[in-house]
Amino acid sequence: MSIQYNFDELVDRSHTHSVKWDIVPPNAAKDTLPMWIADMDFPCAQPILDALHKRVDNRIFGYSNYHSDEIKQTVTDWFQRRFEWTIHKEEMVFSPGVVPAIAFLLHILTEPGDGVVIQQPVYYPFADKIENSGRRVVNNPLCYKDGAYTMDYDDLDRKLADPSVKGMILCSPHNPVGRVWTAAELKQVVAIAQKYDKWIISDEIHCDLIRRGFTHQPVLKLCPEYRQRIIVCTAPSKTFNLAGLQMSNIVIPNEAYRARWWDITMNEFSIASANPFGITAMMAAYTQGEAWLDQVNAYLDENVAFMRQYLQQHLPKAHMVEPQGTYLVWVDLRAYCSDAKKLEQLMLEEAGVYFDEGYIFGEAGAGFERFNIACPRRILQQCLERMTKVLQSLIID
Ligand SMILES: Cc1ncc(COP(=O)(O)O)c(C=O)c1O
């Protein structure tokens, strides 16, 4: 029988060097609740903890080899079992994170000055990595209509038609708007990229965190005919709350790109070996973590339902964009405060809640807040209560 987890338990993470709990902006109110960075306040699955304890008992933590058949088999088995997606083991490479992988890939796939399409509002490190490496952000904004997000294919077509634009970074599922793209949507994106022979980096880090009723479609499974120009980023880090262990698996079907990857990561930057705890945790997660993950997803569904109801009752002018995936909820608060900077100040200094501000995901996010709801429900409730108290006191224009 599988273990029944209690996600209502609040683990004290203070003084653990936690970015989420130990780094607080200087202007934040006392005891501000961190609802921003994307890690979970849920303890890891017991099989992962057991495997890590066992690994510690070995007492030596030397350089560790990722390139073993056992590791690659474990990862590919996970995607086969969960998504019926067959990954060829030789196409998988190691990265200490998905964001570093995107940085490496930009060096492989582009030259300084080249354009790269992203779909804002979107996970802000995409724009940072593009700009910080001297490339250009080319925005294909998502359409926000009737409270829901879709893609603008005509605009994407125009942007990818430009010869100075080399490819796009797709966020699938999408952070922060929570879309789980359908097969039809993904096929349309791939068709446009194919029309102009542009590459796609598909960041699928949130693929296991899917809300009830939705199904993640791995783009490489969906569009095998375009596999030479698609790269997929995956990781157990969001799924199993292992972000600090710095372990991700990047699927690069194109052999020439893989050779360049090896050149850059190994020969230039010496990203040679993985963290032994990362390997151990990933192996346990992908072989024995399924029951925990199913329970986490069920708990997150309930947190979403709780939040929806709370907002309807107490802040009816707030619009919660229904998340289809991820544990991040995107809320339009412009009806209460249309000034994004003022909203930020009110939340942080008066309400005592620390969100990822909507505007950091791109201009279109101004006036939105991104909630990380992977926390015990009573923390979510406290956050909503604090926010409501402040917003209700505002004069609604
Ligand atoms: C879409 C997306 N990609 C990547 C990351 C982070 O990846 P990593 O910590 O492996 O660099 C996140 C974290 O929130 C994310 O939402």
Same domain membership, residue 275 and residue 126: yes
- Please tell me the total count of domains within the chain: 2
Which of 99, 126, 172 for mutating ligand 1's site (highest number of atoms within 8 Å of CB)?
99
| Cα 98 to averaged position of ligand 1 atoms, centre (Å) | 6
b/e map 145-174, b = 16+ CB within 10 Å: eeeebebeeebbbebbeeeebbbbbbbbbb
| Cα 10 to averaged position of ligand 1 atoms, centre (Å) | 24
Residue positions counted in the chain? 397
Of the candidates 265, 288, 311, which is a domain's last residue?
Answer: 288
Q: What is the CATH number of the domain that holds 337?
A: 3.90.1150.10
Of the candidates 266, 288, 310, which is a domain's last residue?
Answer: 288
Q: What is the pLDDT of residue 377?
A: 98
Ligand 1 atom closest to 100 (CA): 11
Distance CA 127, CA 299 (A): 32
Question: Domain for residue 350, yes or no?
Answer: yes
pLDDT in tens, 117-155: 999 999 999 999 999 999 999 999 999 999 999 999 999
Phi, psi of 137 (to 5 degrees): -80, 125
Per-residue pLDDT of the chain (397 residues; tens, 9 = 90+): 578 999 999 999 999 999 999 999 999 999 999 999 999 999 999 999 999 999 999 999 999 999 999 999 999 999 999 999 999 999 999 999 999 999 999 999 999 999 999 999 999 999 999 999 999 999 999 999 999 999 999 999 999 999 999 999 999 999 999 999 999 999 999 999 999 999 999 999 999 999 999 999 999 999 999 999 999 999 999 999 999 999 999 999 999 999 999 999 999 999 988 999 999 999 999 999 999 999 999 999 999 999 999 999 999 999 999 999 999 999 999 999 999 999 999 999 999 999 999 999 999 999 999 999 999 999 999 999 999 999 998 855 4
Same domain membership, residue 106 and residue 61: yes
Considering only CA atoms, which residue is closest to atom 13 of ligand 1? Answer: 38
Distance CA 176, CA 315 (A): 21
Question: Domain for residue 84, yes or no?
Answer: yes
Which of 102, 202, 205, 271 for mutating ligand 1's site (highest number of atoms within 8 Å of CB)?
205
Same domain membership, residue 119 and residue 256: yes
Q: What is the pLDDT of residue 272?
A: 80
Q: What is the pLDDT of residue 68?
A: 94
Same domain membership, residue 208 and residue 113: yes
In this prediction the pTM is 0.97
Q: What is the pLDDT of residue 3?
A: 87
Question: Domain for residue 11, yes or no?
Answer: no
Q: What is the CATH number of the domain that holds 117?
A: 3.40.640.10
Distance CA 378, CA 40 (A): 14
| Cα 234 to averaged position of ligand 1 atoms, centre (Å) | 9
Structure tokens, 249: 């698996």
Give one DSSP letter per residue of 295-361, joined into a string.
Answer: HHHHHHHHHHHHHHHHHHHH-TT-EEE--SBSSEEEEE-TTT---HHHHHHIIIIII-EEPEEGGGG
Of the candidates 288, 306, 332, which is a domain's last residue?
Answer: 288
pLDDT in tens, 309-321: 999 999 999 999 9
